[in-house]
Chains A and B, each alone.
Chain A
């Protein structure tokens, strides 16, 4: 934690270029301004009127609307940084956030990359190498192939030892992309060829590895923060409610863990992060098998995550501020014993998707926007009335976060806030989220990563698109 009497709360960073868009760009600008840093927001042609561009001290256009011609082009970002005299770049999440070459290029240009070094990203971002690093650090991993599988024959041989059903994963994949489930050798044979071809096309790397599939597993992840020498954890989040492997509801802490498992899980994450001398904010992801009380490392995300606010709500630590301070050259000012859990927080992701049309993303113009208020609530968004959501990027509109002393109270507060929230002009997932707050399994915490899709399939969705108007 820092005092505003610090002469240089942001260390060497004076002018920060935000190389992202949407709600996370807004989040970064807010953290930077609180640290007394000047901000420069990059934007594509389609994004000139986005909220982050309005809030930033300066803005600069970096190319056409399509992300691969703007936000995904390292040269365009670095050129913008040079032209605006930025001394640091924050990549947010997605786009170039986990691109090791971009991190290297930034450092080579004499600029500060707000995140880990390219070398750490290469170790932890490559799933097969990350798995090896975990095994070396004594962190349990899901039974699977040791690294990339050479061909179909090797896959079939290894699968006998791992056991079916199993997952085929692209070593360069992420965010749930490039994953397939095989229940028997015949399926494995077909899917292996498909998966390798798709991985080459989508990620430019055909590497595939195998992992045992753990049915009804929970997704639990540990937040870490490091300065390259010291690393601490900020406890865990549970993100088991997923659709098409995209999280839509996240919580901190994970109510399914007892203190003993929580300690072991967080210590494991810490050992892995320490082994690579982690710098910045990162997340170590695990599958948790409740029946066996066993957890397995799956991957590490070397960036700030969408769901970081739930951790901020239960620890009181501003993760984005801390990552900027660390990048600016400050040592980690928090000790492990400073980190305490208070209460329970839930985040709901509100997407521009039509639940009545199989969640088809629908861009459009926001007509009215009413943001709920009251104690324990936070809404991280880039929306404002009159804003036109462009069709070129993802469908996340905002994240509603509710905190309260206990999990049942937090759910109750979330339900109240979702009822109060009003967004018109575009269809949103608000009705689905509200319905989830009343689902018995959600209230009891009896969920797993396949639960939401099973629940959606089992019921005829009756989601009124027009909710009761707020008073």
Chain B
């Protein structure tokens, strides 16, 4: 078991949920599988999902919903199997 950091692939605005009126993609302890959506990054009016490439358990988000992101900025932690 090891904690890995998921980074923003592109700069933009960070969203931890698919829509304002919906729950976050993941909360602490949720299982994570490759292909699971972890976040959305809005760049130039388009929404790009950030997906997991690993199996494991979700630990936490490292940025607040609607924060402005730089490319490569850490956005979440996963405890990988």
Contacts and interface: CB of A to CB of B under 8 A. Distances in A.
A352 B44 contact: yes
Interface in B29-73: 43-46, 48, 66, 68
B43 A361 contact: yes
Contacts of B66: 66
Given A391-B11, A392-B13, A361 B68 contact: no
Interface in A347-363: 352, 360-363
A395 interface: yes
Contact of B44 (A66, A201, A395): A395
A447 to B, nearest CB: 25
Given A391-B10, A391-B12, A363 B68 contact: no
Interface string A432-446: 000000000000000
A91 to B, nearest CB: 18
A393 interface: yes
Interface string A197-213: 00001000000000000
B10 A362 contact: yes
Contacts of A65: 68
Contacts of B19: 201
A66 B10 contact: no
Interface residues of B, number: 14
A352 B44 CA distance: 9
A387 to B, nearest CB: 15
Contacts of A391: 10-13, 43-44
Interface string B1-24: 000000000111100000111000
B46 A361 contact: yes
A392 B11 CA distance: 9
Contacts of A361: 43-46
A227 B19 CA distance: 43
A187 interface: no
Contacts of A66: 13, 66, 68
A31 B66 CA distance: 37
A395 B46 CA distance: 10
B16 to A, nearest CB: 16
Q: Which of A65, A201, A391, A393 has the most CB of B within 10 A?
A: A391
A201 B21 CA distance: 10
B44 A394 contact: yes
Contacts of A394: 44-45
A103 to B, nearest CB: 24
A363 B48 contact: no
B68 A393 contact: no
A123 B43 CA distance: 33
A176 to B, nearest CB: 12
A358 B24 CA distance: 27
Contacts of B44: 352, 361, 363, 391-395
Contacts of B45: 361, 393-395
Contacts of B12: 363, 391-392
B63 to A, nearest CB: 14
Contacts of A395: 44-45
Interface string A391-411: 111110000000000000000
Contacts of A362: 10, 43
A65 B12 CA distance: 10
Contacts of A392: 12-13, 44, 68
A340 B6 CA distance: 60
Interface in A45-75: 65-66
A66 B13 CA distance: 8
B55 to A, nearest CB: 27
Nearest to B21: A201
A65 B13 CA distance: 10
Contacts of A201: 19-21
A363 B46 contact: no
Most buried by A among B12, B44, B45, B66: B44
A289 to B, nearest CB: 31
A433 B43 CA distance: 22
Contacts of B10: 362-363, 391
A65 B11 CA distance: 13
Interface of B: 10-13, 19-21, 43-46, 48, 66, 68
Given A360-B48, A392-B12, 15 more contacts: A66-B68, A201-B19, A360-B46, A361-B44, A361-B45, A361-B46, A362-B10, A363-B10, A363-B11, A363-B43, A391-B10, A391-B11, A391-B12, A391-B13, A395-B44
In the A-B complex, list the 7 residue pairs whose CB atoms are closest, starting with the nearest: A361-B44, A391-B11, A395-B44, A391-B12, A391-B43, A394-B45, A361-B46
18 contacts: A66-B68, A201-B21, A352-B44, A361-B43, A361-B45, A362-B43, A363-B12, A363-B43, A391-B10, A391-B12, A391-B44, A392-B12, A392-B13, A392-B44, A393-B44, A394-B45, A395-B44, A395-B45
